[in-house]
Amino acid sequence: MIGSRASTSPARPAGAVNGAPLRVATVITRMEGGSGVLALRGAQSLDPAAVRPVIVTGSGGRLLDEAAASGIEVVVEPCLREVIAPRSDLRALRRLERLFRERAFDVVHTHCAKAGAVGRPAARRAGVPWIVHTFHGFPFHQFQSLPRRQAYVSIERRLGRITDVALCVGAGVAAEAVRRELVTPERVRTIGVAVDGPDRVKASMSARLPEARERARAALGLPAGATVIGAVGRLTYQKAPEDFVAAMRALDRPGTIGVWVGGGELAEQVGRHAATLRHSRVILAGERTDVLEVLPAFDVFALPSRYEGLPTVIVEAMICGVPVIASAVNAVSDLVIPGQTGILVPPRRPELLAAAMRHLLDSPAAAARMAAAARARLGDHYGESELHAALLAAYSPGAAESVAAAFAPAGSR
């Protein structure tokens, strides 16, 4: 059974007391996509003299190589799978429990629903003193049956009892966690995604310059003078790529090219749908590691997700000065403020997505105004320094006050 930590006073993780680095296990089912990037950026942002992270994952690609190149230890546990598989899940729980005991981690930090459902009980059973979970979004959403949604909420509430800190990617996700009573309110923290480094600076400085646009289109094999609407994300049910294709059909604008950057299990199905378009076309560009470099190829960025947390790619599109259309779900409205920094549309409404595309293409001044406002609103936010501070506060309770004081107005100190 899942117990509760509410009756015990939070103990400071051991490593912070004796001066040794905190030993943190960062657990994520699949080291890919936006959640994988955020988990990796968080681990990379930490000073190894203060926090020593170990990434525990079921699978991954280039991000695992990047983690290893950064000097971060990676443990691959094949039983940790994204799909629900009771036998495999039970083996993963037992193997994680053994790993946590043997390595004597001070903190276990799980990411996303499945890793949280397995990793948090394993940490509890192993006696790990501090458990942190990041909600990148939720496993429940409006397109599920009510019984399944209720079951997921019930499971998350039970897991919330053994969670010392819940980090929510975006204010919309945090508000939902509080409203659904997944975790007690005082344990909920809001964090953002992290886009940083020389690539961000380069993209910001060159945003919307003709040469950046030309390079991006050449990299994608697109005609220099074409009208291009783009999306970036995994070709999965969550991202609703079929609605992107349907919106391109409803747009019905000859010569317009849709580009979807990203791979996934729906690639073949989406490709078949795209092949039926008559007056426009959709190109599936596959996985790419140069997203910030190819985003300037787009006249409009559109993300039609069924559900989301706070997509990193929206921050990246805004950095690159591309006007954004996105589904009005979860924390997307943290970034996309209707009529100011972009356009929101209801999920699963490709005809409204097409209308928004048409509006931005026909109103370039309005599109440019929204893109400029989005870049100005981002400023220097959504970088690794903010993520670093949030993680330190989450991992070491005594650091919370000092971090809060550092960000408090001068007159209140």
∠ CA 81-85-87, rounded to 5° = 105
Mean pLDDT of 352-377: 97
Q: How far apart are CA 5 and CA 8, in angstroms?
A: 6
Q: Is residue 320 part of a domain?
A: yes
Give the span between the Cα atoms of 292 and 349, in whole angstroms: 28
Q: How far apart are CA 53 and CA 36, in angstroms?
A: 14
Residue bearing tokens 């695992």: 64
- What does the mean pLDDT of the chain come to? 90
Does residue 98 fall inside a structural domain?
A: yes
CATH of the domain at 155: 3.40.50.2000
Asked, for residue 1, whether it belongs to a domain, the answer is no
What are the tens digits of pLDDT across the range 338-360? 999 999 999 999 999 999 999 99
**Among the listed ranges 33-42, 136-145, 191-200, which one has the minimum average pLDDT value?**
191-200
pLDDT for the residue numbered 380 = 85
Please check whether residues 155 and 210 belong to one and the same domain: no
Q: Which residue has the higher pLDDT, 108 or 224?
A: 108
Look at residue 205 and tell me whether its pLDDT is greater than 90.
Answer: no
Structure tokens at 30: 């699949």
The CA distance from 240 to 204, in Å, is 28
Q: Is 72 a residue whose pLDDT tops 60?
A: yes
**Do residue 184 and residue 264 come from a single domain?**
no
Residues 74 and 182 in one domain: yes
Which residue type occupies 155?
I
Pairwise pLDDT comparison (367 vs 3), residue with the higher score: 367
State how far the Cα of 37 lies from the Cα of 40, in Å rounded to an integer.
5
Q: Check if the beta carbon of residue 132 is closer than 8 Å to that of residue 165.
A: yes
Q: Where are the beta strands (DSSP E) in 307-390?
A: 324-327, 343-345
Helix (H, G, I), strand (E, B) or coil at 269: helix
- 363 and 245 within one domain: yes
Residue 2, pLDDT score: 63
The alpha carbons of the chain give a radius of gyration, in whole angstroms, of 22
Answer yes or no: is 315 within a domain.
yes
Check pLDDT > 90 for residue 139.
no
291 and 304, same domain (yes or no)? yes
Q: How many domains does the chain have?
A: 2
The answer to whether residue 218 sits within a structural domain is: yes
Q: Say whether both 351 and 230 belong to one domain.
A: yes
Beta bridge partners of 107: 24, 130
51-60: strand order across its sheet: 73-76, 51-60, 22-31, 107-111, 130-135, 165-169, 188-191
Cβ contact 161:3 at 8 Å: yes
Mean pLDDT along residues 46-65 = 92
d(CA 320, CA 11): 44
Helices (H) and strands (E) in the chain, counts: 17, 13
Give the relative orientation of helices 241-251 and 350-362 as an angle to the nearest 10 degrees. Answer: 60
Task: Grade residue 375 by pLDDT with cuts at 50, 70 and 90.
Answer: very high
Structure tokens at 317: 């599109």
Asked if 307 contacts 291 with a C-beta cutoff of 8 angstroms, the reply is: no
pLDDT of 174 over the 50 cut: yes
Query: Are residues 18 and 130 both part of a single domain?
Result: yes
**Quick one: average pLDDT of 292-298?**
95
Cα dihedral 120, 126, 132, 135 in deg (nearest 10): -10
Looking at per-residue confidence, does 396 or 295 come out higher?
295
Q: How confident is the model at residue 401 (pLDDT cuts 50, 70, 90)?
A: very low
Per residue in 4-41, pLDDT (tens digit) is 664 443 455 544 556 789 999 999 999 988 899 999 99
Return left, alpha or beta for 348; rule: phi > 0 is left, psi -120 to 50 is alpha, else beta.
left
Tell whether 9 is covered by a domain.
no
Residues 85, 57 contacting (CB under 8 angstroms): no
3 domain residue, yes or no: no
Ranking 30-34, 38-42, 188-192, 406-410 by mean pLDDT, the lowest is 406-410
- The pLDDT of 384-413, averaged and rounded, is 66
308: alpha, beta or left, given left = phi > 0 and alpha = psi -120 to 50?
Answer: beta
Which pLDDT score is estimated for 201? 77
d(CA 285, CA 133): 33
Of residues 100, 157, 153, 98, the one with CA closest to residue 129: 100
Q: Classify residue 5: in a domain, yes or no.
A: no
19 and 153 housed in the same domain = yes
Same domain, 124 and 163: yes
- On whether both 351 and 394 belong to a single domain, the answer is no
Would you tell me the crossing angle of helices 364-378 and 350-362 to the nearest 10 degrees? 100
Tokens of 324: 């954004």
243 in the same domain as 152: no
Could you tell me the CA-to-CA distances from 388 to 14, 39, 192, 308, 344 in Å, in that order?
A: 20, 11, 11, 23, 30
- Domain range for residue 76? 14-193+383-412
User: Quick one: pLDDT at residue 411?
Assistant: 46
Residue 92 has, within 13 A of its CA and on its CB side, a CA count of 29
One domain, residues 120 and 170 = yes
